Amino acid sequence: MARAIAGATVSFGLVSIPVKLYAATQASAGVSFNLLHNKCGTRLKQQYICPHDNELVGRDDMVKGYEFAKDQYVTFTPAELKALEEKATQSIDIAEFVPLSAIDPVYFDRPYYLGPEKGGDKAYRLLAEAMRESGRAALARYAARGKQYLVMLRPSADGRGLILQELLYADEVRPMSEVPLPDAEVREPELKLARQLIDQIASETFDPTQYHDDVRERIQADIERKVQGHDITEGAEVPAEPARIIDLMAALKASLGKAAAAKSGGGAGATPEAAGEESDEPRRAAKRSETEPKAEPKRARKK
């Protein structure tokens, strides 16, 4: 059973819904390594050194400062830093409802589950159901942990619960206009093949259990071998880089053939015809024969 990490109140209009926040994600069992003394195997400790005085600095001799100009700092006491923090209100104040599709996922940050607190069951279900039917999400402000957050509330996939998604502010997201994009013309035959390739490997649902961090699992298995006293001198086999295909149409057809072969259990060398695409070489040949100038008949030489 999940354990609540905080309590809050969702407010919109004159309606207040007491809720609890639950962590929606958990830190993956990431693989990390510690620095040890090669001589004795003891774990090393981090120390801070003042480059000006060339001496070790303890925690009691440290202060926090803000660099307002190059190498110029203004320092703050712990009390002043506390005064800078946003006062936690534990109130999730809804400002507006917008279509869920109107919020670009690039703004998504950390998610949390919301559960109803005692006395808020009916209002909680009402808000979740109303947002599910309307296809809208709620934008709200939430002050906690010394900061003010822009958050989005949306119904869960089954429509029974609410999810709070922290959002990034506009100045935290770089505009796409900073990325150089090419001006390339897409031809209709290429677009048709690309759509066919998408349809071949398309799915109507997302099943996250089908995906695993294969690299992390491999590393953990190798570490376990090392713990058991075995050597792991051989590195992971690097897959060969696929050959680059300059012809876009040829690449799309080859991809279609490969996808069709994978579905039918055939080999990887299936032809575009196996994927339901007729080769257009005969048409090209016919077209060339129509456009190429015909040779004039030879005239008999006069004697």
Q: Which residue has the tokens 């590195």?
A: 235
- Convert the pLDDT of each residue in 9-58 to its tens digit: 998 888 899 999 999 988 766 688 899 999 999 999 989 999 999 999 99
Q: Are 8 and 94 in contact (CB under 8 A)?
A: no
> Stretch 183-198: mean pLDDT, rounded?
88
Tokens (6 digits) for 42: 């003891």
pLDDT for 275 equals 43
* Separation of alpha carbons 272 and 255, rounded Å: 9
Q: Which amino acid is at 262?
A: A
Q: Which residue has the higher pLDDT, 196 or 266?
A: 196
Structure tokens at 154: 């949306």
Answer yes or no: is pLDDT of 108 > 90. Answer: yes
How confident is residue 107, by pLDDT bands cut at 50, 70 and 90?
very high
Q: What is the pLDDT of residue 216?
A: 81
Summarize pLDDT for 236-288 with one digit per residue, the tens: 566 666 666 567 778 878 888 777 777 666 544 444 444 444 444 444 444 44
The pLDDT value recorded for residue 289 is 44
Tokens 């589950």, residue located: 113
Distance separating alpha carbons of residues 161 and 102, to the nearest angstrom: 21
Closest C-alpha among 245, 249, 246 to residue 193: 249
Looking at residue 231, what is its pLDDT?
Answer: 83
Region for 230 from its dihedrals, namely left if φ exceeds 0, alpha if ψ lies in -120 to 50, beta otherwise? beta
More confident residue, 297 or 26: 26
Q: Closest Cα to residue 236, out of 217, 258, 208, 255? A: 217
Task: Reply yes or no on whether the pLDDT at 221 is more than 90.
Answer: no
d(CA 127, CA 138): 10
Res 292: pLDDT: 46
Average pLDDT over residues 100-104: 93
